[in-house]
């Protein structure tokens, strides 16, 4: 029942000759996803793949736009199935400027990995068919805690950790350098990445900006919180200085080596739990920093922080711009199926403010009783358990639970750290009138 692990980008402005036909294809993709995929008992549920990307652009973002009907359909799909995810052509063209001085719009690889601008031998932008050499992720929370609140010490430690990441990334490049195209013919000979000859080395596809190589990071919130006493939603200046330091180092390495180093907001699907355990072992329990079973993904405002969706996206847009190798922002939502108008308003805001964002809702099903609301997470003697609130079913084999666990929609359940993070999420779009 699992669809292929791939993404489908729906970008109307990618063509002029076949725009009407493309619109028909987009419409059918959206309608099929709204319908869903049958589970083991014949009920239509939310599938994890293919991931859908919908580009917001001038001819689909306003009520009087020619393709507004597709945007309304995308909103309906998001409300029910959590996808598509949204790319702003306007913001992306501002952020992705090539050597010709032109802005570019293109899909991400995987859940959030974006290539850096590149011109081919004819001076034309090229994005399809390129690749990434891998990621090494820096635990910013560890760098902050190691500095013991001393700012000068922090920058020194951060630079040391960055150089360690640099060495690890160069190991990745050196390991790939000299590889024969025969190792993976589909990738290197048959057109996925290139059409090299048999026995030809892949080196030219790794260098001179063709393939990116990513400096990942996680735990910006914990780092800023420890060093300043406040979230980076408040202490934005310090958080942005940290992000700029990462970019400065990548640019320095790029200029000296010719490799396309790029700052990447790591998804840390399971690493969020591993990093948290390492921090507890090294520093003990520090309130607000290491007292959870997860650390915060990339630059994100922490999931438990009470903030409205528009303020969240506005703040995160500043950090997303400094994560050119990969970034994504989320808005956590309650049931949206009866309120697609708010989805459309958020989509308009995304178009004008942030390059790439997603809306998260819940889409669950209990196979034992037929319940199709939100499956609950209970804390039973320190262990987090999924339970159907209607019949009490705790058998994960007879539940269909869909949650955004990184940039992808996950349906296979998660470790305790990620489950704790999911349980902690503040719902940005909901009725909060009863909150104090």
Q: Are strands 44-45 and 37-38 parallel, antiparallel or unpaired?
A: antiparallel
Report CA 260 to chain centroid distance, whole Å. 20
Q: Among residues of the chain, what percentage have pLDDT more than 90? A: 77
Average pLDDT for 77-104? 96
Average pLDDT for 331-356? 93
Work out the number of other CB atoms within 10 angstroms of the CB of residue 174. 9
Q: Is 433's pLDDT higher than 50?
A: no
Residue 409: which pLDDT band, with cuts at 50, 70 and 90? low
Helices and strands (H, E) in the chain, number of each type: 12, 16
| Contact predicate 344/81, CB 8 Å | no
Q: How far is residue 79's CA from residue 224's CA, in Å, rounded to a whole number?
A: 34
What pLDDT, on a 0 to 100 scale, did the predictor assign at position 76?
96
**DSSP letter, residue 86:** E
Residue 365: which pLDDT band, with cuts at 50, 70 and 90? confident
What pLDDT, on a 0 to 100 scale, did the predictor assign at position 1?
47
What pLDDT, on a 0 to 100 scale, did the predictor assign at position 207?
94
| Contact predicate 237/216, CB 8 Å | no
The Cα angle at residue 113 between residues 107 and 115, in degrees rounded to 5: 70
Report in angstroms the alpha-carbon separations of 315 from 141, 237, 434: 20, 11, 25
Task: Compute the half-sphere exposure of residue 42: CA atoms within 13 Å on the CB side of its CA.
Answer: 0
Of 44-48, 182-186, 266-270, which has the strongest mean pLDDT? 182-186
pLDDT tens-digit series, residues 171-212: 999 999 999 999 999 999 999 899 999 999 999 999 999 999
Q: How far is residue 373's CA from residue 366's CA, in Å, rounded to a whole number?
A: 9
Work out the number of other CB atoms within 10 angstroms of the CB of residue 398. 15
Domain ranges of the chain: 129-327
pTM score = 0.91
Q: For the chain, what is the radius of gyration of the CA atoms?
A: 22
Q: Among residues of the chain, what percentage have pLDDT more than 70? A: 96
What pLDDT, on a 0 to 100 scale, did the predictor assign at position 410?
61
Average pLDDT for 393-413? 77
Please state, rounded to an integer, the average pLDDT across all residues of the chain.
92
Q: For the chain, what is the largest distance between any 2 Cα atoms, rounded to a whole number of angstroms?
A: 67
């Amino acid at each position: 029942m699992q669809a292929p692990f791939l993404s489908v980008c729906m970008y109307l402005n990618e063509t002029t000759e076949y725009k009407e036909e493309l619109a028909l294809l987009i419409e059918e993709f959206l309608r099929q996803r709204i319908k869903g995929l049958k589970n083991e008992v014949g009920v239509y549920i939310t599938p994890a793949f293919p991931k859908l990307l919908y580009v917001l652009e001038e001819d689909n973002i306003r009520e009087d736009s020619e393709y507004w009907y597709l945007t309304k359909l995308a909103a309906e799909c998001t409300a029910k199935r959590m996808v598509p995810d949204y790319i702003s052509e306007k913001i992306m063209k501002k952020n992705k400027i090539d050597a010709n001085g032109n802005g570019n719009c293109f899909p991400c690889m995987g859940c959030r990995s974006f290539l850096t601008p590149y011109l081919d031998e004819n001076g034309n932008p090229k994005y399809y068919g390129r690749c990434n050499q891998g990621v090494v992720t820096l635990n910013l929370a560890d760098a902050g805690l190691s500095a013991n609140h001393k700012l000068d010490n922090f920058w020194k430690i951060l630079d040391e950790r960055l150089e360690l990441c640099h060495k690890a990334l160069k190991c990745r490049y050196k390991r790939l350098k000299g590889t024969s195209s025969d190792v993976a013919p589909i990738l290197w000979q048959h057109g996925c990445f290139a059409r090299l000859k048999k026995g030809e080395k892949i080196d030219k596809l790794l260098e001179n900006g063709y393939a990116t190589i990513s400096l990942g990071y996680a735990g910006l919130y914990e780092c800023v919180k420890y060093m300043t006493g406040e979230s980076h939603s408040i202490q934005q200046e310090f958080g942005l200085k940290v992000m700029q330091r990462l970019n400065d180092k990548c640019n320095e390495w790029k200029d000296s080596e010719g490799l396309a180093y790029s700052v990447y907001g790591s998804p840390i699907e399971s690493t969020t739990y591993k990093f948290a355990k390492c921090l507890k072992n090294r520093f003990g329990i520090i309130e607000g920093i290491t007292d959870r079973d997860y650390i915060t993904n990339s630059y994100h405002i922490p999931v438990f922080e009470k903030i409205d969706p528009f303020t969240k996206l506005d703040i995160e847009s500043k950090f997303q711009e400094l994560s050119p190798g990969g970034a994504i922002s989320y808005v956590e939502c309650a049931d949206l199926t009866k309120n697609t108008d708010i989805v459309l308003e958020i989509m308009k805001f995304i178009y004008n403010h942030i390059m790439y964002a997603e809306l998260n809702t819940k889409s669950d099903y209990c196979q034992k009783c037929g319940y199709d609301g939100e499956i609950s997470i209970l804390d039973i003697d320190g262990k987090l358990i999924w339970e159907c609130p209607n019949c009490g079913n705790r058998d994960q084999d007879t539940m269909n639970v869909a949650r955004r666990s990184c940039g992808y929609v996950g349906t296979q359940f998660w470790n305790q750290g990620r489950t704790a993070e999911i349980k902690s999420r503040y719902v940005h779009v909901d009725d909060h009138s009863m909150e104090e």
